[in-house]
C-alpha cells in the first residue's frame, strides 16, 4: 500500500513519511520545496512540484496506482508572514488545496487526511478545548486552515470524498532515529527560544506571569512529533471505520490532553540539559494570551491513539537533532 504525502519534505510530512516506512507503508512524496527540504526525501519516492499541478498529480497516480489515501501537509505556516502576505497565504493554502482535491477526485482518490491546526481555536484563557469548542482563528494563516476544513467538509457532504482533519497542537522533537526534524535553524516557538538562550548562556525571559493558570505563566500543549506521526498511521489504517457515507468528515484534536506552562517547560528543559538555564520574569508581549490545551478523548476513541512520548523526550530529541540538522542541511 502507498500513501501520497503532499508536503512530505517538511517537518511534519517527512516525519509521517518515516512512520509510514516503519509501518510497511510506501510514502510517495509530493513537495514544491518552497519550505520543504530535498535532503528529507533521500531513499523515498519523490516528486518535486506543486499540489495544484494537475498533470503532475495525474502522473503520480498513473505511476503509483496503489495509492490508497492522501495526507495533505502542504501549506505555508508562518503567522507573521501570513499577516504581511494574506493573498499569498490564501492562494497557497486554500486555492491550491481546492485544485489539489479536484485532481485527487479525478484520479479516484476519496480518502484525505488533512493537516489542520489548533490555532483555529481562540484558546485565550488557559482552559482546555474540545473539537466542539468555538472556532476563532486569529491570523490569516489560522483562517486558511479553518476555511480549508469547511471547504473539505462541504465537498465531503456532497459525496465527493471523505476527509479526516487532524488539528495539531504544538509539535516538538524529531524522528527518534533522527532521519528528519525541524528544518529551521532559528525557530520562533518557545522550545526553540529556550534552546537559543541556553546556547547563548543568557536567561530565558518568561513573558507574562499573571495569567489565569496554575503558576501564572502561559500554557500550551506540546506533543512529540513522533506521536503525531503515529496518529497519522492510525488515521490511515482506521480511515474506513471512522468515516462513512453518513459521516464523511470529522476533526480530531492531537495533543497530550494536558497543558504545560512556561515554567513547567523550563523545568523540563533543565531536567534534560547538564547546565541549568536561568529564567527572568518579564511583561507579556503584545498579543500574548494565556493559551490552552486539548482533551484527547476523541483521538483515543476513534484512532485508538494516546501520546506515548514525554515532554522531556521531545526536548531531548530536539537537542539531539541540532547537530544532525547542521550537518545535513547546508543552509
- Which residues are tagged catalytic? 141
Separation between Cα atoms, residue 53 and residue 219, nearest integer Å:
40
Tell me which H or E stretch contains 28: strand 26-31
- Burial zone of 157 (CB within 10 Å; 0-12 exposed, 13-18 middle, 19+ buried): exposed
Nearest to 295 by CA among 135, 122, 115, 127: 127
Task: Calculate the alpha carbon distances from 121 to 130, 188, 309 in Å.
Answer: 9, 20, 25
Residues whose CB is less than 8 angstroms from the CB of residue 87 and which lie 6 or more positions away in sequence, other chains included: none
Separation between Cα atoms, residue 67 and residue 152, nearest integer Å:
20
What does the angle CA 103 – CA 104 – CA 108 come to, to the nearest 5 degrees?
120
Contact 118, 253 (CB under 8 A): yes
DSSP helix, strand, coil percent of the chain (3-state; round to 5): 40, 20, 40
- Burial zone of 255 (CB within 10 Å; 0-12 exposed, 13-18 middle, 19+ buried): buried
Residue with cell 480530531: 252
Separation between Cα atoms, residue 178 and residue 320, nearest integer Å:
8
37: left (phi over 0), alpha (psi -120 to 50) or beta: beta
Cα dihedral 236, 237, 242, 246 in deg (nearest 10): 70
What is the chain's length?
Answer: 331
C-alpha cell at 274: 547538564
Amino acid at each position: 500500500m502507498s500513501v501520497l504525502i503532499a508536503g512530505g519534505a517538511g517537518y511534519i510530512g517527512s516525519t509521517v513519511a518515516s512512520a509510514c516506512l516503519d509501518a510497511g507503508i510506501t510514502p510517495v512524496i509530493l513537495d514544491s520545496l518552497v519550505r520543504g527540504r530535498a535532503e528529507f526525501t533521500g531513499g523515498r519516492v519523490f516528486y518535486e512540484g506543486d499540489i495544484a499541478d494537475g498533470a503532475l498529480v495525474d502522473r503520480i497516480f498513473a505511476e503509483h496506482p496503489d495509492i490508497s489515501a492522501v495526507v495533505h501537509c502542504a501549506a505555508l505556516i508562518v503567522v507573521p508572514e501570513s499577516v504581511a502576505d494574506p493573498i499569498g497565504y490564501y492562494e497557497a493554502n486554500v486555492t491550491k488545496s481546492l485544485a489539489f482535491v479536484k485532481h485527487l477526485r479525478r484520479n479516484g482518490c476519496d480518502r484525505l487526511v488533512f493537516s489542520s491546526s489548533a490555532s483555529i481555536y481562540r484558546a485565550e484563557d488557559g482552559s482546555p478545548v474540545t473539537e466542539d469548542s468555538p472556532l476563532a482563528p486569529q491570523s490569516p494563516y489560522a483562517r486558511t486552515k479553518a476555511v480549508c476544513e469547511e471547504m473539505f467538509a462541504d465537498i465531503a457532504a456532497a459525496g465527493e470524498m471523505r476527509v479526516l482533519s487532524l488539528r495539531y497542537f504544538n509539535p516538538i522533537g524529531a524522528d527518534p532515529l533522527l532521519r528528519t526534524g525541524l528544518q529551521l535553524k532559528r525557530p520562533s516557538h518557545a522550545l526553540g527560544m529556550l534552546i537559543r538562550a541556553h546556547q547563548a548562556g543568557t536567561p530565558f525571559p518568561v513573558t507574562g506571569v499573571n495569567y489565569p493558570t496554575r503558576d501564572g505563566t502561559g500554557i500550551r500543549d506540546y506533543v512529540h512529533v513522533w506521536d503525531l506521526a503515529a496518529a497519522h498511521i492510525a488515521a490511515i489504517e482506521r480511515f474506513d471505520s471512522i468515516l462513512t457515507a453518513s459521516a464523511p468528515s470529522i476533526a480530531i484534536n492531537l495533543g497530550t490532553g494536558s497543558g504545560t506552562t512556561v515554567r513547567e517547560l523550563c523545568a523540563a528543559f533543565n531536567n534534560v540539559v547538564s547546565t541549568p538555564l536561568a529564567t527572568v520574569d518579564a511583561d507579556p508581549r503584545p498579543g500574548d494570551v494565556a493559551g490552552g490545551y486539548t482533551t484527547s478523548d476523541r483521538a483515543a476513541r476513534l484512532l485508538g491513539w494516546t501520546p506515548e512520548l514525554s515532554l522531556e523526550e521531545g526536548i531531548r530529541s530536539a537537542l539531539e537533532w541540532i547537530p544532525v540538522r547542521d550537518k545535513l542541511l547546508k543552509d
